[in-house]
Structure 1
Amino acid sequence: MPIRITGMGSGLDIDKLVTDLMKAERMPLDTLKQKKTKITWASDLYREINTKMSTLKNALDKIKLTADWKDYKATSSNEYAVTATSAAGVPVGSHSVEVKQLAKGATITGNALASSFDPKTPLGVEGTLTIAGVETPIAYSANDTLTDIMNRVNSSSSGVKMAYDELKKQISVVTKETGSAVTLSISDSKTTDTGPVPGDLFAKIGITSTAATGQDAEVIIDGTTVKPSKNTFTANGITYTFKQENTTSTIQISGDNEGMVKQIKDFVEQYNSTIELLNQRVKEKKYRNFEPLTDDQKTDMKEADITNWESKAKSGLLGNDDILNTALRGMRDIINDTVSSLPSEYNALFKVGISTMPYNSNSPNDSGKLMIDEEALKKAISEDAGSVVGLFSNYPEGIANKLSKRVNDSMTQLVDKAGGAGTPSDSVTTTLGLRINDMNKKIETLNDRISSREEYYYKMFAAMDSAVASNNSQLNWLMQNMG
């Protein structure tokens, strides 16, 4: 900003004259800045709602799948032998489990090596180790140690693990997959002048057998023998994990009604919080006489007064907004839906103790919120926990599934309108950001025009000041020489 010394010739307060003239010149700029401020505020409010909906979606993600529910828990009498987990709606009761044998991978075990054997000493042999089903053989040289070869095998796509037991001085090769259908075959060869011949590696590391077959588990559950290929097995909604052979255990399925009630309460809390904010924004009173303050206006006001004024200026910016109204209607409709795949006694939220609050004109922002009759909810869970879970998680008509889709659609619209967290307010990828970007360009143009206009006024008054000074000088000369 240039330093000007004005009014020396005329005695006029040229700075004040220019300032007063520029107030009129700046009116279009102030109006444009106020419009930009309102759009920026609206953008912030849209993002606030997007954040709130994101929190609701996270809550829905915790209940929209059957596996997310902790309605029943499985307890083992011997967790070293068998553990279990229970799916939603599994009846309370106990189950006997006898593990006769575990599922195992195909295993080749070498003979015990000399006590002086060191897996980090070069073996002094070279050749190629081939594992059946693996296209690329594993080459080794005379400088390679057993550790080197094991590392190559274990990092390959062979699907086997090669290990050395330091206590037993034995090498083992085991498939990662288990079961009687799994086979393992290995071979060792080296190249000579006459062609490939058996290699010397196996003799060095004590391997005499080169083929093996895996083993199925054998377990008796509630008197029925099963032979799964893995050490996990699911039956009647219970997933068992077998850990130790020749053991007996009891799996007790018990209710966790409090856990289910808490999950539902957490969802209702987030749902009500979202509904309250949506109601507030679409029903907010608009104060038409409160426009955003200009910089000049703020200079004459206290901070508290500025805050109060801007609070009224922001109020009602999203009043009756289409995106928010659509979200509200959609969420309320889903809450009142029925889930046809469930028994009629449990196919709607109000039938399990979750209902919509009655309208209260004194609390309009509570319209559409949910309330829980905890006694009725617990009764429904104890009678048919599976149906209560299904009310939320059945696909695709479960309440949580449908709400999650509705919320996700609204969030997409909000992001298109104003962007998400971290999106610049003037990003041209959003509807409001494009408008702000356009306004920024217009503001820049107006600022340039105003600067030029201000410079013009100063030059005009400077010329006038100079002329007045010249006239005064001539008048003084005449007065002095005419006397």
Structure 2
Amino acid sequence: MSSISPIRVTGLSGNFDMEGIIEASMIRDKEKVNKAKQAQQIVKWKQEIYRDVIKESKNLYDKYLAPDSPNNITNKKAYSATKITSSDESIVVAKGSAGAEKINYQFAVSQMAEPAKVTIKLNSSDPIVQQFPPNASGASSLNIGGVNIPISGQDTTSTIVSKINSLCADNDIKASYSEMTGELIISRKKTGSSSDIDLKVIGNNNLAQQIANDNGITFATDASGNQVATVYGKNLEADVTDEHGRVTHINKEENSFNIDNIEYNVNSKGTAKLTSVTDTEEAVKKMKAFVDDYNKLMDKVYGLVTTKKPKGYPPLTDEQKEEMTTEEIEKWEKKAKEGILRNDDELRAFIEDIQSAFFGDGKNIVTLRKLGINESENYNKKGQISFNADAFSKALIDDSDKVYKTLAGYSSNYDDKGMFEKLKDIVYEYSGSSTSKFTKKAGMENSSSASQNVYSKQIAEQERNISRLIEKMNDKEKRLYAKYSALESLLNQYSSQMNYFSQAQGN
């Protein structure tokens, strides 16, 4: 920003105070500049407060509404009324979600789900080309999943691994080398019997035989004389015995799976017992944490739109700040920021949209109250939630699936969505992206909206206006100094002439 620094002629004739006269003449101009700066400061504060609201809204979204968050309250796991314990967690663990019934199972795991895998014995101290002898054309190669992996005299175990991972990246195939076992390991990422690797050994029957012996597979000879085989993954195999002695065989392509609203994670072969008890402590704790954080955000936003602006606290001018301590400035500015967003349209709409989604329907209010969730009776806590932990716990025990569907059930129809699915949509609409309502007004830091928003454009225009006012003021001040310097020069000449005549008459 421009500063006031015109070239001045400051001599005094003794006949008048030129500095004082010019300073008095510039008072209104300085007031215009200060008022423009104060107006800009208010917009900057508004943007600062708005961005703070955006940040807190996004934090609430990321913590409780994002699908990958461990605290997600739109996930069925958040509404579990059962706690499942394992006699040996190294073998199997389980976690219930909404709708899960009590269990008493004996798990006997005979086979883990595994990906298709091939191991090739290599000696890292010997040249790779000796372990993959050249064929008649002077080169040897492997073909993995239809991708040719050429072998050259310059290759090492490290470069072979890099070649496979690079060339087979799109085929869900990865390679690694174990210094401990001396094995090149080639495998799919996906587990189960549908996981397979087509392997072709070109120009090296001895190597094919070695691979066949080490992996328990059989190679066939194709029309070109190459050795070909297909290696398959394995499914999880387990027998589950219930409390009545009934046995159910489980065959799954993955080691993690969901049955009857319970997620099982199998970690190794062996036998372990899974038992459950009614327990809502974790679900209640998670819901209470959400309500506390949600209410803090609502309290902040409602305070912004209802707080009245105190009189006599405009933004400080630079001259005023020079006469104050840092602590005094901070206290003043805290007071000056109060009420600057009173009745702001977007902030008020944010609260009203959420309140309407939660408590706008009388029938919905009755249903939520039975689940321990109600709108605050305090008029000054608009949009906030009153949470009854005991009622919530009882509702989970009675019918956890119903609680989940009421609070977090998903539907393509907005009216049929659960309470928190609606909240998720609203928070995202107002602050979830660079094109949301709040970010269009104030911008989101480190995004394309940081400078392309209503407040930033206002600030830029105000900056141009301030520069114009300062330039105009400086020009005026220069003219006044030139004018009064010329006047002072004439007065000095007149004074000299008068002194001359006085001296002449005296003589």
Per the shorter chain, which TM-score range? 0.7 to 0.9
- Out of 264, 283, 300, the position equivalent to 1:240 is 264
- Secondary structure of residue in 2 paired with 1:227: strand
Q: Following TM superposition, by how much is the alpha carbon of 1:375 offset from its aligned partner in structure 2, in angstroms?
A: 2.0
Matches within 5 A, 1:177-196: 177-190=190-203
Q: How does 1:40-439 map to 2 (within 5 A)?
A: 40-61=44-65, 62-67=71-76, 69=78, 71=80, 72-106=82-116, 118-122=123-127, 123-124=129-130, 125-126=133-134, 127-131=139-143, 133-134=145-146, 136-141=147-152, 144=155, 149=160, 152-153=163-164, 156-157=167-168, 175-190=188-203, 201-202=207-208, 209-210=218-219, 211=229, 212-222=231-241, 223-245=247-269, 247-287=270-310, 290-297=313-320, 310-336=333-359, 348-359=367-378, 364=380, 366-396=381-411, 397-411=417-431, 412-421=436-445, 428-439=451-462
Which has the higher mean CA deviation after the structures are superposed, 395-404 or 56-65?
A: 56-65
C-alpha change, 1:189 and 1:347, in structure 2 (3 Å) is farther
Could you tell me which of 434, 452, 457 is aligned with 2:480?
457
Letter in 2 for 1:129: S
Residues 81 and 242, structure 1, Cα contact 8 Å, conserved in 2: yes
State how far apart, in whole Å, the 2-side matches of 1:129 and 1:423 are: 49
Judging changes above 3 Å, is the alpha-carbon distance between structure 1 residues 242 and 304 closer, same or farther for their aligned structure 2 residues?
Answer: closer
| Displacement of 1:423 | 7.9
Alignment check: 8 A CA contact 2:145 2:199 kept: no
Shift of 1:304: 6.7
Q: Which sections of structure 1, spanning at least 5 residues, go unmatched?
A: 191-197
Change in 2 beyond 3 A, CA 1:182/1:30: closer
Contact 1:121 1:146 in 2 (8 A): no
CA deviations 1:111-147 (Å, max 9, x no partner) are xx8xxx834302531144344632x311223565666
Give the structure-2-normalised TM-score. Answer: 0.78
User: 2-side partners of 1:386 and 1:48: how far apart?
Assistant: 36
When structure 1 is superposed on structure 2, of 209-218 and 264-273 the one drifting more is 209-218
Paired letter, 2:394:
K
User: How far has the Cα of 1:6 moved from its partner?
Assistant: 3.4
Q: CA shift at 1:27, angstroms?
A: 2.9
Judge which range, 147-156 or 444-453, deviates more: 147-156
Please tell me whether the aligned partners of residues 83 and 241 of structure 1 are also in contact (alpha carbons under 8 angstroms).
yes
Residue aligning to 2:244: none
Counterpart position of 1:194? none
1:201-251 Cα shifts (integer Å, max 9, x gaps): 436778583234444333222311232233333321223333444x33222
Whole-angstrom distance in 1 between the partners of 2:158 and 2:306: 72
Distance 1:428 1:159 in 2: 42
Amino acid paired to 1:141: S
Q: State the shift of 1:25 in Å.
A: 2.7
For 1:221 and 1:440, locate their aligned partners in 2 and report how far apart those are by CA, in whole Å: 73
Post-superposition Cα deviations, 1:435-472, rounded to whole Å, max 9, x if no partner, equal: 11111111111111111111111111111111111111
Q: Quote how far apart the aligned CAs of 1:101 are.
A: 3.0
Any conservation in 2 of the 1:339–1:391 contact (CA below 8 Å)?
Answer: no
Moved more, 312-321 or 136-145: 136-145
Contact 2:113-2:191 within 8 A present in 1 as well: yes
**2:74–2:409 Cα contact (<8 Å) kept:** yes
**Hey, what's the Cα distance between the residues in 2 that align with 1:455 and 1:147?**
76
Query: What is the distance in 1 between the residues matched to 2:42 and 2:198?
Result: 74
Q: Secondary structure at the match of 2:252?
A: coil
Counterpart of 2:441 in structure 1: which amino acid? K
Deviates more, 1:409-418 or 1:262-271: 409-418
Deviation at 1:175, TM superposition (A): 4.9
Q: Gapped runs of 5+ residues in structure 2?
A: 66-70, 220-228, 242-246, 412-416
Residues 112 and 237 in structure 2, CA contact (< 8 A), matched pair in contact too: yes
Aligned equivalents of 2:174 and 2:447: distance in 1? 48
Q: Kindly indicate whether the alpha-carbon contact (under 8 Å) linking 1:184 and 1:213 is maintained by their aligned counterparts in 2.
A: yes
Q: In the alignment, is the contact (CA less than 8 A) between 1:64 and 1:398 conserved in 2? A: no
1:21 Cα shift? 0.9
Amino acid at match of 2:281: E
Q: Which amino acid aligns with 1:189?
A: I
**CA 1:457–1:330 in 2, change beyond 3 Å: closer, same or farther?**
same
Shift of 1:169: 7.7
What SS does the corresponding residue of 2:275 show, helix, strand or coil? strand
Residues paired across the two proteins, number: 460
Letter in 2 for 1:12: F
Amino acid at match of 2:377: P
- Structure 1, 68-77 or 266-275: larger mean CA deviation: 68-77
Q: Classify the secondary structure of the residue corresponding to 1:233.
A: strand
- Give distance in 2, aligned partners of 1:442 and 1:240: 66
Q: 1:161/1:439 Cα in 2 relative to 1: closer, same or farther (>3 Å)?
A: closer
TM superposition shift of 1:149: 4.3
Residue 276 of structure 1: how far off its partner (Å): 1.4
Distance 1:55 1:154, change over 3 A: closer
**C-alpha separation in 2, matches of 1:214 and 1:309:** 70
- State the SS of the aligned residue for 2:343: coil
SS in structure 2 at match of 1:63: coil
Q: Check 1:285–1:89 CA distance in 2 against 1; reply closer, same or farther (3 A cut).
A: same
1:9 maps to amino acid: S
- Aligned equivalents of 2:212, 2:404: Cα separation in 1: 57
Given that residues 395 and 401 in structure 1 are in contact (C-alpha distance below 8 angstroms), is that contact kept between their aligned partners in structure 2? yes
C-alpha distance in structure 1 between counterparts of 2:403 and 2:485, whole Å: 85
Relative to 1, partners in 2 of residues 1:105 and 1:472: Cα closer, same or farther, differing over 3 Å? closer
The answer to whether the Cα contact below 8 Å between 1:76 and 1:84 also exists between their aligned partners in 2 is yes
C-alpha RMSD of matched pairs (Å): 3.6
Q: Distance in 1 between matches of 2:116 and 2:421?
A: 43
In the alignment, which residue of structure 2 is the partner of 1:195? none
Mapped to 1, the partners of 2:369 and 2:487 lie a distance apart of 84
| SS of the residue 2:126 aligns to | coil
Cα 1:179/1:42, change in 2 over 3 Å: closer
